[in-house]
RNA sequence: GGAGAGGUGGCAGAGUGGUCGAAUGUACCUGAUUCGAAAUCAGGCGUACUGCAAGGUACCGAGGGUUCGAAUCCCUCCCUCUCCGCCA
């Protein structure tokens, strides 16, 4: 959510910033509504003040046992205009909210302007892609040859875009999550959380998935009761911890790490990445979330991204860091780094982590504040990043660590989590 | 799933139609007292919008309704607690 004050006072600046995202937004409706709002709001409050004071008089007169009919007649004349003003004002405010809730965040100043992923800027590369002396298989072929990755059975059980892992591969999946959690909780100082996988609509509003992106979510209907939604990322339950809170300044920064499954309907992604476990309805992710003082968010963003990179380096997986351009950034983000891991079968880097600074955008939606130097409530800044997507990490290991005989070497940092197992062998 | 009781300021807790944005206690902040502290005394102490200011407006779980007037009455939803049943 953008600051409505900023829209009122610097509409052109806001419009310019949003235009950089690619689709210029028409603010003529906003201007029309705003012109009406100011006078209507003043007038409504004036009428309310009159009504309140007259009503008080009625109370006083009646309390003294006097006749109040004259004053009651007087307040009666206000009735129609007041009612009409209140109704119209409520309509206007609702329209403002709808406009505001649908506007994406302003890109940070140092975000490159571009239309799509072609405009992204590579920041760094780490690691050297391995040279194979045998034909490289993609992760689906490697996993199925091991007999430990079974899409056909998953499709029977649930449908397309689900996977069934078995044996050592299932264990490696678990080991990855444990390894990531330990690294962030112990080495990086994050507080580990276990959080709900189903959330209410208010939480999804808070982080920005609703109202615009409902079709991306799995919705659980419960008869008369309010629906719940399966979380698309741990960002939702974790960031909403501070929704409607006013924190003490000393409480910041908050740093949370949380491993959850993530559920995405993948509506509109038809045909993309249908093979393999790159794009699934259900995948696990270890998520990093920080709630920080506004002056700290830029530094925190670098720190958090670096902490995600550490996981890739410990796993010895080659990757690159990319700064997303204005046209490729997510709805709520002010600035985003993607980490892309090397996938030899595709001969390219693929996204495995997305680390974003949301500035005050989410905090304003969810009214997450802290008491500043002047003891006044001020919006926090929020950040999050994958550290990392577990399923895609498993994909990267299958491809990068495959051997000519069909086995897959277990990265050394994972071995303590797998009973010392050094290699996945066909079942 | 059945039966019942509740949601008021950081916390506790009063308030069942009118001078209530809300008593009181406690916590917290400032000052006085003190060598210092405790105790005591005085003042302050929710959020947001609006106004140069004085002030005005909204908010008593959320939304709607009745009324000249709603924390208080009515409806829907959300949440909490107690007992019974079921359950990993």
Q: Say yes or no to pLDDT of A372 above 90.
A: no
pLDDT average, residue stretch A409-423: 97
Q: Say yes or no to pLDDT of A300 above 90.
A: yes
pLDDT average, residue stretch A349-359: 97
* Residues sharing a CB contact under 8 Å with residue A264, sequence separation 6 or more, in sequence order: A216, A217, A218, A232, A280, A281
* Residues sharing a CB contact under 8 Å with residue A59, sequence separation 6 or more, in sequence order: none
- Kindly determine whether the C-beta of residue A42 is less than 7 Å away from any atom of nucleic acid strand B: yes
Q: Say yes or no to pLDDT of A79 above 80.
A: no
List the single range of A33-37, A283-287, A331-335 with lowest mean pLDDT: A33-37
pLDDT of A383: 97
pLDDT average, residue stretch A269-278: 87
Nucleotides of B under 7 A from a protein CB: 18-19, 47-50, 56-58, 64, 68-69, 76-79
List the single range of A98-102, A110-114, A389-393, A395-399 with lowest mean pLDDT: A98-102
- Residue A406 — pLDDT band, cuts 50, 70, 90? very high
Backbone angles phi, psi at A12, to 5 degrees: -65, -40
pLDDT average, residue stretch A52-60: 87
What is the average pLDDT value for chain A, to the nearest integer? 93
- Model confidence pLDDT, tens digit, residues A168-178: 999 999 999 99
Q: Say yes or no to pLDDT of A109 above 90.
A: yes
Pair A391, A284: CB distance under 8 Å: yes
Largest CA distance in chain A: 103
CA of A289 to C1' of B3 (A): 43
In a 10 Å sphere around its CB, with 0-12 CB exposed, 13-18 middle and 19+ buried, how is residue A406 labelled? middle
Q: Say yes or no to pLDDT of A411 above 90.
A: yes
ipTM of the complex: 0.86
- Kindly determine whether the C-beta of residue A426 is less than 7 Å away from any atom of nucleic acid strand B: no
- Residue A320, SS3 per DSSP: strand
pLDDT of A375: 83
Q: Say yes or no to pLDDT of A65 above 80.
A: no
- Residue A285 — pLDDT band, cuts 50, 70, 90? very high
- Model confidence pLDDT, tens digit, residues A122-131: 999 999 999 9
- Residue A271 — pLDDT band, cuts 50, 70, 90? confident
* Residues sharing a CB contact under 8 Å with residue A284, sequence separation 6 or more, in sequence order: A173, A177, A259, A260, A261, A262, A389, A390, A391
Q: Say yes or no to pLDDT of A323 above 80.
A: yes
List the single range of A137-141, A269-273, A362-366 with lowest mean pLDDT: A269-273
Pair A392, A406: CB distance under 8 Å: no
Task: Give strand letter and number of the nucleotide nearest A54 (CA to C1').
Answer: B68
pLDDT of A312: 98
Strand spans (E) along A90-223: 121-126, 191-193, 198-199, 219-222
Pick the catalytic residue from A297, A332, A353, A354.
A354
For chain A, the residue count is: 427
CA of A58 to C1' of B45 (A): 33
Pick the catalytic residue from A351, A371, A378, A415.
A351
Q: Say yes or no to pLDDT of A338 above 90.
A: yes
pLDDT average, residue stretch A237-252: 91
- Number of C-beta neighbours around residue A10 at 10 A: 13
Q: Which of residues 45-64 of A touch strand B (CB under 7 A)?
A: 45-46, 48-49, 51-56, 58-60, 62-64
A174 is an active site residue: no
* Residues sharing a CB contact under 8 Å with residue A414, sequence separation 6 or more, in sequence order: A172, A175, A176, A179, A315
CA of A82 to C1' of B65 (A): 17
Q: pLDDT > 70: what percent of chain A?
A: 100
- Residue A83 — pLDDT band, cuts 50, 70, 90? confident
What is the distance between the alpha carbons of residues A358 and A336, in angstroms, rounded to a whole number? 9
pLDDT average, residue stretch A247-252: 88
pLDDT of A82: 87
A245 is an active site residue: no
In chain A, domain spans: 26-102, 117-424
Q: Please give the protein residue whose CA is closest to the C1' of the nucleotide B67.
A: A55
- Model confidence pLDDT, tens digit, residues A256-269: 999 999 999 988 88
- From residue A187, give the alpha-carbon distance in Å to each of A262, A309, A425: 25, 13, 32
Q: Say yes or no to pLDDT of A32 above 90.
A: no
Instruction: Please tell me the CATH code under which domain A26-102 is placed.
Output: 1.10.287.40
- Residue A408, SS3 per DSSP: strand
CA of A76 to C1' of B57 (A): 20
Pick the catalytic residue from A264, A321, A364, A365.
A264
pLDDT of A237: 95
A264 is an active site residue: yes
Q: Which of residues 85-124 of A touch strand B (CB under 7 A)?
A: 90
pLDDT of A35: 85
Instruction: Please tell me the CATH code under which domain A117-424 is placed.
Output: 3.30.930.10
* Residues sharing a CB contact under 8 Å with residue A84, sequence separation 6 or more, in sequence order: none
A222 is an active site residue: no
Q: Say yes or no to pLDDT of A381 above 90.
A: yes
């Amino acid at each position: 959510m953008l600051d409505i004050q900023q829209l009122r006072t610097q509409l052109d600046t806001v419009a310019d910033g949003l235009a950089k995202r690619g689709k210029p937004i028409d603010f003529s409706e906003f201007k029309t509504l705003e012109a009406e709002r100011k006078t209507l709001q003043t007038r409504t409050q004036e009428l309310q003040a009159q009504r309140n004071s007259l009503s008080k008089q009625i109370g006083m007169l009646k309390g003294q046992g006097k006749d109040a009919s004259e004053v009651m007649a007087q307040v009666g004349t206000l009735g129609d205009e007041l009612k009409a003003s209140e109704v119209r004002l409520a309509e206007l405010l609702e329209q403002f909210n709808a406009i505001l809730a649908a506007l994406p965040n302003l890109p940070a100043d140092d975000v490159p302007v571009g239309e799509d992923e072609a405009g992204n800027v590579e920041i760094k590369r780490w690691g050297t892609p391995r040279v194979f002396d045998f034909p490289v298989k993609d992760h689906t072929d490697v996993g199925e040859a091991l007999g430990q990755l079974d899409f056909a059975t998953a499709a029977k059980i649930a449908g397309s875009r689900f996977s069934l892992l078995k044996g050592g591969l299932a264990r490696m999946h678990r080991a990855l999550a444990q390894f990531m959690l330990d690294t962030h909780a112990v080495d990086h100082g994050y507080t580990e959380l276990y959080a709900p996988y189903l959330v209410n609509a208010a939480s999804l509003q808070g982080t920005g998935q609703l109202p615009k992106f409902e079709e991306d979510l799995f919705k659980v209907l419960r008869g008369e009761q309010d629906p719940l939604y399966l979380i698309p990322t741990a960002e939702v339950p974790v960031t909403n911890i501070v929704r409607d809170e006013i924190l003490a300044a000393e409480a910041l920064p908050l740093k949370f790490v949380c491993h959850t499954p993530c559920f995405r309907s993948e509506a509109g992604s038809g045909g993309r990445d249908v093979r393999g476990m790159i794009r699934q309805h259900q995948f696990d992710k270890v998520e990093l979330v920080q709630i920080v003082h506004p002056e700290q968010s830029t530094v925190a963003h670098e720190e958090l991204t670096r902490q995600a990179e550490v996981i890739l380096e410990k796993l010895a997986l080659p990757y690159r860091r990319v700064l997303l351009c204005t046209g490729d950034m997510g709805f709520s983000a002010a600035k985003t780094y993607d980490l892309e891991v090397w996938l030899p079968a595709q001969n390219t880097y693929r996204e495995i982590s997305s680390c974003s600074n949301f500035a005050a955008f989410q905090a304003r939606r969810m009214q997450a504040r802290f008491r500043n130097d002047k003891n006044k409530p001020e919006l926090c800044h929020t950040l999050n990043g994958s550290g990392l997507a577990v399923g895609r990490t498993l994909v990267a290991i299958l491809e990068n660590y495959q051997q000519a005989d069909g086995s897959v070497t277990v990265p050394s940092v994972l071995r303590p989590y797998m009973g010392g197992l050094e290699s996945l062998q066909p079942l």
